[in-house]
Amino acid sequence: MARKVSIGRKVGFTALAWTLGCLMFFPIFWMMLTGFKTEVGAIASPPQFFFTPTLESYKDVIEQSNYMRFVMNSIIIAGGSTLLALVVAIPSAWSMAFSPTKHTKDVLMWMLSTKMMPPVGVLVPLYLMLQYFGLLDTRTGLVIIMMLINLPIIIWMLFTYFKEIPSEILEASRMDGAVLWKEIVYVLLPMALPGIASTLLLNLILAWNESFWTLNLTASNAATLTQFISSFSSPQGLFFAKLSAASTMAIGPIMVLGWFSQKQLVTGLTFGAVK
Amino acid sequence: MGNIVLEKVNKCFGDVEVIPSVDLDIKDGEFVVFVGPSGCGKSTLLRLIAGLEDLTGGKIIIDGVDVSDSTPAKRELAMVFQSYALYPHMTVRKNIAFPLKMAGMDQAEIDKKVEAAAKSLNLTDYLERTPGLLSGGQRQRVAIGRAIVRSPSAFLFDEPLSNLDAALRVNMRIEITDLHKELKTTMIYVTHDQVEAMTMADRIVVLQAGDVEQFGSPLDLYNKPVNRFVAGFIGSPKMNFATGKDAEEFNAHEIGFRPEHMTVSTTEGRWKGVVSVAEHLGADTFLHVKTENAGTFVTRSDGELNINYGDTVYVSPNTDKIYRFGADGLSL
């Protein structure tokens, strides 16, 4: 029997959810608002809620830097690394989910453990390796690094989704004459599509917002939107209005993507939680 | 053709040996049922034949060709799974067409075969639906359609009816038996339901702990069980057993007598006892009689018998229908 919830409790929970939601969104809202202020207005005390909006900061930001180049780098690095990671992760997760050995769990834990190490611990060796191969400040170098950084999470997520697929269905396809690649393409992938889509979206977001590696391994050629934002935090002083305008422009594309794919993301992330 | 020979087939999962050594010769066109208690290795044996599990030792020969190391696809067998294992993202048409598509058949030929299979299984109206929109019986029919469409050399059924309700199970049992008569293709059928085994099989393989206890026709197993296990496993309700003086009288370590080979009387008989359970099924009456010193026996009488819980009765076995067993459990 479903538990009865009184109207008072419903109102209370709704109010609490909205309050928490607003609190979490407020910094982003404030940043967006600041982008439409003048530099003086941005640092005014007390803070200004009502002001005459201006596009001056946006104009300055676009004039001072090549925004589209940063966007393209972000798209290529985030998109490329996610796609490349999926190509590696799908067969890996398949083998661990449907053909496990006694060491599969150890391998999974080992992969996860690489995420527990602070990234700065491997910065120098990775920097030197990229330098040796001539991949510093290149999109290729960043795509490879970002793919490797996110690979453990992608494999873990796909492994969890694949485990939910009854192995009998894959066995049926084998009995029906499907060789391995056909089994993956015709049966596994269509069935795991919601999981794969949410993995792709989540990793796209993670790679898009990643700043440690992009700031340390790029300078200009492969610089992404995180580099674009940080370029407005200069030694001459903080220009809050420009910084806010740049940040809004940087997170804009991924926010739009997230907004339209939120249903997919939530479905994918809670996949298998309730049978 | 569908002659399947198993030679010293052995299977271990790690250190656990689930099938010590099995030898079987299944003739072309035969309907063979693997039956046994849970965990006896019957499904594992079927999966070994299918190629879904690797052999640890021994050989599997299909139509004279050693397929021990072949992939499932190369064995030319079709399998119907307990959970149906339909492709949930494909329509019924695509499900049935899948093995033909994998075989690289041209689309016109695929359509023709799918239509024919759907017609024979009454699925024509459901071809454009996905499996999620079908009932259990219809899903099972789609699974069978997917198996028959490619004309395999043998069909493997892994407890295909266990997810269906009782009435549907009887219908599907008859449909599968009819299908066998029509196609005359070898069928290997795994079940734990001995009614299915007795009614469908040409020959039954009784398995226990991975060993073949007996391989024979249903009536052979019923009338001439080779040991106590087969005697106790085949027949419903189960055979009654007695030891001690009752067995010695028949020069045996243990004797067995089936519920249908016992007489019940309110006045006289071999063992006196009290009815602990009375099951009146209409056509039959099953009595569980707790005797004074020989244990509890189950009897099967006609449905008109007016004996109820708590009544004192006398039960006697039909002496010419007694099975005798030695101390090693083998039939004497």
Residue A272: is its pLDDT beyond 60?
A: no
Query: Is 60 exceeded by the pLDDT of residue A118?
Result: yes
Instruction: Place A175 in a pLDDT band, splitting at 50, 70 and 90.
Output: very high
* Residue in A169, A177, A186 nearest the CB of B73: A177
Mean pLDDT of B263-277: 89
What residue spans of chain A are helical by DSSP H? Answer: 7-35, 39-42, 56-64, 67-98, 104-113, 123-132, 139-163, 167-175, 180-182, 189-209, 212-217, 225-230, 240-260, 262-269
For the segment B123-164, what is each residue's pLDDT rounded down to a tens digit?
899 999 999 888 888 898 899 899 988 889 999 999 888 888
Q: Do A173 and B103 touch (CB under 8 A)?
A: no
- One DSSP character per residue, B68-80 reads TT--GGGGTEEEE
CB burial of residue B240 (10 Å; 0-12, 13-18, 19+): buried
A40/A120 same-domain check: no
- Phi, then psi, of B306 in degrees rounded to 5: -100, 65
**A223 contact partners, CB below 8 Å, separation of at least 6:** A69, A70, A73, A137, A214
The answer to whether the Cβ–Cβ distance between A173 and B98 falls below 8 Å is yes
What pLDDT score does A273 carry? 43
What average pLDDT score do residues A220-241 get? 77
- Which residues lie closer than 8 Å to A38 by C-beta, 6 or more apart? A54, A56, A57, A241
| Contacts by A70-75, CB closer than 8 A, 24 or more apart | A70/A223, A70/A224, A70/A225, A70/A227, A70/A228, A70/A250, A71/A225, A71/A253, A73/A139, A73/A218, A73/A222, A73/A223, A73/A224, A73/A225, A74/A208, A74/A224, A74/A225, A74/A250, A74/A253, A75/A253
* Residue % of chain A over a pLDDT of 70: 93
Mean pLDDT value of segment B190-204: 91
Asked if A172 lies within 8 A of B89 by C-beta distance, the reply is no
Do both A73 and A23 map to the same domain?
no
d(CA B93, CA B72): 23
Widest CA span in chain B: 76
Distance of CA A86 to the CA centre of its chain: 14
Asked if A171 and B85 come within 8 Å (Cβ–Cβ), the reply is: yes
Chain-chain contact of A171 with B52 (C-beta, under 8 angstroms): yes
Instruction: Reply yes or no on whether the pLDDT at B332 is more than 70.
Output: yes
Whether A8 contacts chain B with CB within 8 A? no
Domain boundary among A213, A231, A249: A231
Cβ within 8 Å, pair B72-A191: no
Residue B226: predicted pLDDT? 93
Whole-number pLDDT of residue A275: 34
Is residue A265 included in any domain, yes or no? no
Give the best residue of B75, B87, B96, B101 to mutate against chain A (max A CB count within 10 A). B87
Q: Kindly report, residue by residue over A250-266, the tens digit of the pLDDT.
A: 888 888 888 887 777 77
Which residues of chain B neighbour A178 with C-beta distances below 8 Å?
73, 98, 102
SS3 B325: strand
A168 with B81: Cβ contact below 8 A:
yes
Nearest by CB: A182 against B79, B88, B102: B102
B256 within 8 A of B228, measured Cβ to Cβ: yes
Q: Is A72 on the interface with B (CB under 8 A)?
A: no
The residues of chain B that CATH labels 3.40.50.300 are 4-230
- Residue A269 CA to residue A195 CA, distance in Å, equals 8
Residues 158-177 on A with a CB inside 8 Å of B are: 166, 168-169, 171-177
Q: What is the dihedral of CA A212, A216, A219, A224, to 10 degrees?
A: -20
**B303 in Cβ contact with B284 (< 8 Å):** yes
Q: Which residue from B minimizes the CA distance to A193?
A: B89
Find the domain containing A20 and state its range.
7-55
> What integer pLDDT is reported at residue A2 of this predicted model?
59
Domain B4-230: which CATH number of 3.40.50.300, 1.10.490.20, 2.60.120.380, 3.40.50.720: 3.40.50.300
Those residues whose C-beta lies under 8 Å from the C-beta of residue B91, and which sit 6 or more positions away, are: B127, B128, B129, B130
Q: Environment class of residue A187 by beta-carbon count within 10 Å: exposed (0-12), middle (13-18) or buried (19+)?
A: buried
Are residues A34 and A159 both part of a single domain? no
Question: For the segment B66-120, what is each residue's pLDDT rounded down to a tens digit?
Answer: 999 999 988 889 999 988 899 999 999 999 999 999 999 999 999 999 999 898 8
For range B205-230, the mean pLDDT: 92
Nearest-CA distance B102 → chain A (Å): 6
| pLDDT band with cut points at 50, 70 and 90 for residue B32 | very high
User: How many structural domains are present in chain A?
Assistant: 2
Q: A72 in a domain, yes or no?
A: yes
pLDDT in tens, A202-214: 888 888 888 888 8
Chain A: residue whose CA lies nearest to B97: A176
Which of A168, A177, A182 lies closest to B85 in CB terms? Answer: A168
Do A175 and B77 count as a contact with CB atoms less than 8 A apart? yes
Contact residues on chain A for B78, CB-CB shorter than 8 A: 175-176
Write out the residues of chain B at the interface with chain A, using a CB-CB cutoff of 8 A.
50-52, 71-73, 77-79, 81-83, 85-89, 98-99, 102-103, 146, 150
Percent of chain B with pLDDT over 90: 52
ipTM: 0.84
Closest-CA distance of chain A to residue B194, Å: 25
The verdict on a CB contact (< 8 Å) between A175 and B87 is: no
Give the mean pLDDT of A181-209: 88
Distances (CA, A) of B258 to B120, B235, B255, B306, B312: 41, 8, 10, 21, 21
- Mean pLDDT score across all residues of chain A: 86
Q: What residue type is B229 in one-letter code? A: F
User: Residue A86 has which token pair?
Assistant: 């999926």
Q: Answer whether A174 sits within 8 Å of B71, measured CB to CB.
A: yes
Cα–Cα dist A84/A95, whole Å: 18
Contact B142, B95 (CB under 8 A): yes
Contacts of B99 in chain A (CB under 8 A): 176-177
Question: Tell me, what's the pLDDT at A253?
Answer: 83
| Residue A119: pLDDT over 60 | yes
**Residues B316, B278 contacting (CB under 8 angstroms):** no
Q: Average pLDDT over chain B, rounded to whole?
A: 90
Kindly state whether residues A94 and A116 are assigned to the same domain.
Answer: yes
Is residue A79, in this structure, part of any structural domain at all?
yes
**Residue A186: its chain B contacts at CB < 8 A?**
98
Provide mean pLDDT across the span B230-240.
90
Residues A123, A185 within the same domain: yes
Say if residues B192 and B36 touch (Cβ distance below 8 Å): yes
Residue A169 belongs to some domain of the structure: yes
Confidence of residue B167 (pLDDT cuts 50, 70, 90): confident
pLDDT value at position A234? Answer: 66
Average pLDDT (A163-186) is: 90
In chain B, CATH 2.40.50.140 sits at 237-325
Rounded distance between C-alpha atoms, residue B196 and residue B250, angstroms? 33
The C-alpha atoms of residue A209 and residue A74 are separated, in whole angstroms, by: 9
Q: Band of the pLDDT at A270, cuts 50, 70, 90?
A: low
Residue of higher predicted confidence among B187 and A253: B187
pLDDT band at B256 (very low <50, low <70, confident <90, very high): very high
- DSSP-assigned states of every residue in A87-113: HHHHHHHHHHHHS--TTHHHHHHHHHH
Give how far A170 is from chain B: nearest CA, Å: 8
pLDDT of A136 reads 87
Q: Are residues A27 and A104 in the same domain?
A: no
Residue A178 distance to chain B (closest CA, Å): 6
pLDDT, tens only, A51-85: 888 888 888 888 888 888 888 899 999 999 999 99
Q: For residue A174, list chain B residues with Cβ-Cβ distance below 8 A.
A: 51-52, 71-73
Tell me the CB-side half-sphere exposure of residue A190, using CA atoms within 13 A: 11
- Give B208-257 as a DSSP string: ETTEEEEEE-HHHHHHS-SBHHHHHHSSSSPPEEEETHHHHTTTSSEEEE
- CA–CA distance, A203 with A209 (Å, rounded to integer): 10
Query: Could you tell me which residues come within 8 angstroms of residue B181 by beta carbon, excluding any fewer than 6 positions away?
Result: none
* Domain at B237-325, CATH class: mainly beta
In A, minimum Cα distance to B147 occurs at A176
Interchain CB contact of A182 with B (< 8 Å)? yes
Query: Per the confidence metrics, is the pTM higher than 0.80?
Result: no
Which residue from B50, B82, B86 is facing A175, i.e. has the nearest CB?
B50
pLDDT in tens, A10-60: 999 999 999 999 999 999 999 999 989 888 888 888 888 888 888 888 888
CATH number assigned to the domain comprising residue A190: 1.10.3720.10
| H/E stretch holding B35 | strand B31-35
Residue B185: per-residue pLDDT: 92
* Under 8 Å between Cβ of A107 and A93: no
Indicate whether A176 and A142 sit together in one domain: yes
Give the distance from residue A162's alpha carbon to the nearest chain B alpha carbon, in angstroms: 15
Nearest CA distance, A188 vs chain B (angstrom): 10
DSSP state of B105: -
* A-chain residues near B50 (CB < 8 A): 175
